[in-house]
């Protein structure tokens, strides 16, 4: 399945409490469970005013559906074409 990076504009995201983040995570997992096995959340990175999420999904439309059903913004959705890391230099 393709991998995607989703950019979510969430003002003050970096100031969300552990409880807030837990609630958001629970909502996301609940929506994913109802959507079935064709979309998976890998992880997210919280910055000052954005959250960057990594998902594996059959297609971009599933990412959009998850955002709509969960009430999450999906300001940018980009398919990952290649992954590189320090071992790529070897």
Write the CATH number for 26.
Answer: 3.30.70.3090
pTM higher than 0.85: yes
Number of domains in the chain: 1
pLDDT of residue 19: 97
Answer whether residue 90 is part of any domain.
no
Q: Which domain holds residue 17?
A: 3-85
Residue range 68-79, pLDDT digits in tens: 999 999 999 999
pLDDT of residue 85: 95
pLDDT of residue 11: 96
SS3 sequence of the chain: CCEEEEEEECCCHHHCCHHHHHHHHHHHHHHHHHHCCCEEEEEEEECCCEEEEEEEECCHHHHHHHHHHHCCCCCEEEECCCCCCHHHHC
Residue range 10-64, pLDDT digits in tens: 999 999 999 999 999 999 999 999 999 999 999 999 999 999 999 999 999 999 9
């Amino acid at each position: 399945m393709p991998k995607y990076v989703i950019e979510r504009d969430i003002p003050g995201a970096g100031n969300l409490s552990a409880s807030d983040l837990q609630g958001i995570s629970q909502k996301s997992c609940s929506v994913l469970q109802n959507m079935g096995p064709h979309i998976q959340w890998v992880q997210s990175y919280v910055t000052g005013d954005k959250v960057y999420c990594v998902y594996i999904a059959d297609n971009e439309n599933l990412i959009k559906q998850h955002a709509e059903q969960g009430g999450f913004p999906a300001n940018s959705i980009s398919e990952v074409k290649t992954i590189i890391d320090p071992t790529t230099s070897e």
